[in-house]
Amino acid sequence: MSGSSEQTGRDVRSGSGEMFDAIAGRYDLLNRILSLGMDQGWRRRAVRALALKRGARVLDLATGTADLAIAIAEEYPDATVIGMDPSRGMLDVGRRKLGGSKLEGRIELQVGDAQELPLGDASVDGVAIAFGIRNVPDRPRALREMARVTREGGRVVILELSEPRRGLMGTLARTYVHDIVPRVGGLISGAKEYRYLQRSIQAFPPPEEFVRTMEASGLRVIESAPLTFGVAWLFVATPAREGASRKEA
């Protein structure tokens, strides 16, 4: 569940591209195991929420090993996808997945930072980011960039892990995230980076607070929905042009 951040030595254990390089080889296996297989269904829900028209151009931020980019290309057979991530190691795994497949010509993978997108204003029909926004140091800046590059009427879809805060499911989810995820992740990957996953989920703001951040960053939220009792959360928005910054193509 990759994300965008500065690739510096001091950030290697705090959500940076370099941190995700260390777990790239086993990242997909870890996702399947640690999400109990639910991450694939969550991604499908996010893909449908894009509601793309024919011939759409889509940006998949924090693409990681390109799972979401592939799902988008499969769901929308005439769409083209730009998959962007700060981790070269994760992108290399994604390129191996695409190698020789019919999707290779429709998905372009490149290194990039969600906080400063190398794209012109209103240059894509949709933006998606799965399990990555919590890793971005300056979230409002990244959200403004998403609003800026999305065409009028296009959608920005954000899928993120959450920590249920009430009821029995909340207790069970917190136990799983705090105790099981770091231990199993570290055991399988041979790395301590999955301790970061626990901290980053816990630190992510409640959904209602994140919605306010989105709306203050040039996006109009049209859906905010819990998935699997709030273990994950889906946010769907469209750009509010008066709130978006401008950049030349």
Residue 73 inside a domain? The answer is: yes
CATH assignment of the domain containing 227: 3.40.50.150
Give the residue from 56, 118, 115 showing the smallest Cα distance to 81. Answer: 56
pLDDT of residue 59: 98
- The 10 Å Cβ neighbour count of residue 245 is 12
CA distance 80 to 13: 33
Looking at this protein, which amino acid is placed at residue 91? L
226 assigned to some structural domain: yes
Q: Is residue 186 part of a domain?
A: no
Structural domain range at position 33 = 9-164+204-240
Nearest CA to 156 out of 114, 205, 200, 204 is that of 114
Q: 154 in a domain, yes or no?
A: yes
Q: Is 133 contained in some domain?
A: yes
Residue 85 confidence (pLDDT) = 95
Q: Is 191 part of any domain?
A: no
Q: Report pLDDT for 5.
A: 37
Q: How many domains does the chain have?
A: 1
Q: At what angle do helices 27-34 and 88-98 cross, to 10 degrees?
A: 90
Residue 186: the pLDDT is 64
Q: What is the pLDDT of residue 247?
A: 47
Along the chain (249 residues), what's the average pLDDT of each consecutive run of 10 residues?
39 50 63 72 96 97 95 97 94 91 93 96 98 92 98 97 71 68 64 64 88 98 91 94 48
pLDDT at 198: 64
SS3 category, 150? strand
In a domain, 96, yes or no: yes
Contacts for 37 with CB less than 8 Å, ≥ 6 apart: none
> What pLDDT score was predicted for residue 116?
97
